[in-house]
Structure formats: C-alpha cells, structure tokens
Amino acid sequence: MAQLNEDFLNQRLQKIIDKKNVYSTVLCVESGDGRFSWTGAAGEMQADSRYYIASVTKLYVTAVVMRLIEEQKLQLSDKIAEYLPDGYMAGLHVLNGVDYSNKITIQHLISNTSGLPDYFFHKQPDGKTSAASLLDGVDEPWHLEKTIETVKKLKPNFPPGKKGKAAYSDTNYQLLGKIIETVTGKTLDEVFREFLFDELALRQTCVFRDVTDDSAVSFYYKSKKLWIPNYMASVTAEGGIVSTAQESMLFLKEFFRGRFFPKEQIEGLKEWNWILPPPGLFLFGVGLEKIWTPRFIAPFKPIREILGFWGQTGSFAWHHPGTDLFFIGTTNQIDGSGHAAATNTILKIIKAAM
C-alpha cells in the first residue's frame, strides 16, 4: 500500500472532479484489515456528506434476500406468483403471444434475467421513456402499481431465464421489494432498518421518505441539478437509500465478510451475464455486479474481479479481492461521465496497490 499516499489519492480525486459535469464527489478507500483508510471529497461535498446511493441500494436488497434464504423464508427458485397478487401477475410477461408470467422466479428478478422491460428507460409505444420526463425535472412518484401498469404495455426483452440473456430492469427490483414485504410482513423501510441499519448502528443511513428533506447532496443530469424528491421517495427497493461514504463502507465490508449470510455463498452470486456487450461497463450476477477489466489494462498483473454495484447517480461500492481494497463514493452525475471517471480512478488505485 506504500504507493497509496495522500498526494496520489488527492490527484486521483482531482481527476474525478475535473471531469465535465462532475460538480461534487467523495471517495473512500479502505483495506480489508482496516490498516489503510482514506477519504477525500471535492466540489459540493464534504467527507461526511450524505448522498443518494441510488442503485447501490440493490446490494442492500441482496443482503436481505440472502438472509431470508438463510432463515428458510424463501428460495431463489420460488415462483414470484407465490408472493404477489393475481392482479399484478395477470399479463405481466407476454412475449409473442406466450404468457411467461407464472414462470418468473425470484432468481430471475435479482439477476435481471426475467426479461421484464425496465419501466424507466424502456421506450414506450410513443417512442418516449419514463426517464425522459424525470430527467427534465418533472417530479412524480413511481409506485409499484404504476410500474406494473406501464410494463404490461411494453414488450418483454426475452423469455425468463433465457440462456446468456440479461437486461437491467428496475421493474425487477420493485417486484422484489414487494416480495420482501410480503414475506416479512413489514415495510421495506422497516426491513432495512431492522436487518441492516440497526444491525450496523448506521445513524446517517436511511430510506429517503421526507420529500422536504434536502440535506443530501444534489445530483445532476449533465449541467442540470435535479430535485425529484417524490420520485426518490417512491423507489425504495431499486434506489432509495441515503447514506455517507463512511457508513456505506461499513456495510460493504460486512457484506463481503459474511455478516448477513455465509461468506462462501458469494461464489454462488457470480453467475455473470453481460448487461451491455463488450466493451460494456459491467456484468450482472445474482444481486451482484462485476466491472469488466480487459487484460490489456494490466497485462502482467491481471486485475481480475472487482465486485459490487453501480448507482445511476454515479454512486459506487466495489471490492477488489486481489488487493483486498474497498471503494465507496459518488460523483452525483447521471449522464455516465462520472461513472467513467470513477472507474478510471478505481483501476489506477488498484494498479498502484498491486
């Protein structure tokens, strides 16, 4: 870790904030044994600022699902129709005249292999997407009932579980959130607090609910600051957690240490499918993502696995087993430029530590 000095890490942080349209960032890097720990922030953020972790929330969902499996309250192979009302299931997945709705399993949802279209980015019959109005700042809630109504009008991507196929869909996680509530008899907010937040004494981490609460750092779409609290308060399962870098780091390390389910089961989450074809940014497993690292990036010391999750707001939570380094942070930018800057910085730090 000798090369990971203050000057080097500050330079890498500066590379992120120098990226066009990145107005705030935080980066926390820690070793698994806790002997190395560094946090830096720039722009509109401080090291302890609260921010929207967006789809990094899905890693918290994975922890809950795996714990429920340990408690024998559900199985990945369970059909989702066992847990959802008939009204939700009727005509949910109809492709080329074949109704696959009752073939969808919990594993299909958590691995994005259900084929269900993403209500957020999938083009609707008029050629528009739900995301378009939100990115324009039109703030409206997207509760599960609205999602199901929207999805039933869209053409699915492929039959559930089709070999080699995966499509990122927030619809999957909205349904998964409802299933967790059905199994536990509690709201997802309550489940997160009981299973995760209280377990780890996370005092600055919560589900975003209060639409008047503007204490978290703003995120942007290109140069436009977005304030869409009604939407953020309605999408708990797919991206509704607010946290800090320090508390997110604590969760990430405990996830990979086996605090919530046996550590050995992480291997079973590595059923990778390309979300985008090469050179796509990442692969998706069972509630877990992997950054694609082509061999030419480090031909003599391959980087291999980087495991964790991306968030749409430029948030990230990654673990590199090869160096046992953990990376937490955000760029608060939706347009993808922050993701690219964060990826580059993570790779540079890993290479310096190898």
Residues 317, 260 within the same domain: yes
Residue 163: inside a domain: yes
Query: Is the model's pLDDT at 2 over the cut of 70?
Result: no
Tell the residue number behind the tokens 């722009």, with chain if given. 43
What sign for the dihedral angle of Cα 257, 314, 219, 190?
negative
Question: Residues 209-241, buried b or exposed e (16+ Cβ, 10 A)?
Answer: eebeeeebbebbbeeeebebbebbbbbbbbbbb
Higher pLDDT, 130 or 18: 18
Please give the pLDDT value at position 275: 86
Residues 211, 345 within the same domain: yes
Residue 40: inside a domain: yes
Residues 220 and 241: their CA atoms lie apart, in Å, by 17
Residues 337, 301 within the same domain: yes
pLDDT tens for residues 99-123?
999 999 999 999 999 999 999 888 8
Percent of the chain with pLDDT over 70: 98
Please give the pLDDT value at position 277: 63
Residue 200: inside a domain: no
pLDDT tens for residues 309-348?
999 999 999 999 999 999 999 999 999 999 999 999 999 9
Residues 54, 92 within the same domain: no
Provide mean pLDDT across the span 52-71.
Answer: 98
pLDDT tens for residues 36-55?
999 999 999 999 999 999 99
Residue 136: inside a domain: yes
Tell the residue number behind the tokens 């946090």, with chain if given. 39
Per the omega criterion (within 30 degrees of 0), is the bond before 299 cis?
Answer: no
Q: Which of 138, 156, 188 is the last residue of a domain?
A: 188
Domain count for the chain: 2
Residue 334: inside a domain: yes
Higher pLDDT, 354 or 159: 159
Query: Is the model's pLDDT at 81 over the cut of 80?
Result: yes
Please give the pLDDT value at position 276: 72
Please give the pLDDT value at position 117: 95
Please give the pLDDT value at position 280: 62
- Give the domain extent around 161: 62-188
Residues 115 and 307: their CA atoms lie apart, in Å, by 23
Residues 54, 104 within the same domain: no
Structural contact between residues 185 and 198, judged by C-beta atoms closer than 8 angstroms: no
Residues 35, 18 within the same domain: yes
Q: Which of 161, 188, 215 is the last residue of a domain?
A: 188
Please give the pLDDT value at position 6: 93
Residue 106: inside a domain: yes
Residues 225, 295 within the same domain: yes
Residue 117: inside a domain: yes
Residues 142, 252 within the same domain: no
Residues 105 and 44: their CA atoms lie apart, in Å, by 42
Structural contact between residues 113 and 166, judged by C-beta atoms closer than 8 angstroms: yes
pLDDT tens for residues 187-240?
999 999 999 999 999 999 999 999 999 999 999 999 999 999 999 999 999 999
Residues 77, 115 within the same domain: yes
Residues 120, 217 within the same domain: no
Query: Is the model's pLDDT at 294 over the cut of 90?
Result: no
Q: Which of 155, 188, 221 is the last residue of a domain?
A: 188
Residues 163, 257 within the same domain: no
**Pick from 50, 9, 53, 51: which is nearest to 28 by CA?**
9
pLDDT tens for residues 124-169?
777 788 889 899 989 999 999 999 999 999 999 999 999 999 999 9
Please give the pLDDT value at position 297: 82
Query: Is the model's pLDDT at 32 over the cut of 90?
Result: yes
Give the ranges where 125-275 is alpha helix by DSSP (H): 130-135, 144-151, 170-184, 188-192, 229-232, 236-239, 245-257
Residue 138: inside a domain: yes
Query: Is the model's pLDDT at 63 over the cut of 90?
Result: yes
Place 1 in a pLDDT band, splitting at 50, 70 and 90. Answer: low
How far are the Cα atoms of 58, 61, 266, 273 from residue 255, in angstroms, in the given order? 12, 11, 9, 22
CATH number of the domain that residue 143 is part of: 3.40.710.10
Residues 73, 178 within the same domain: yes
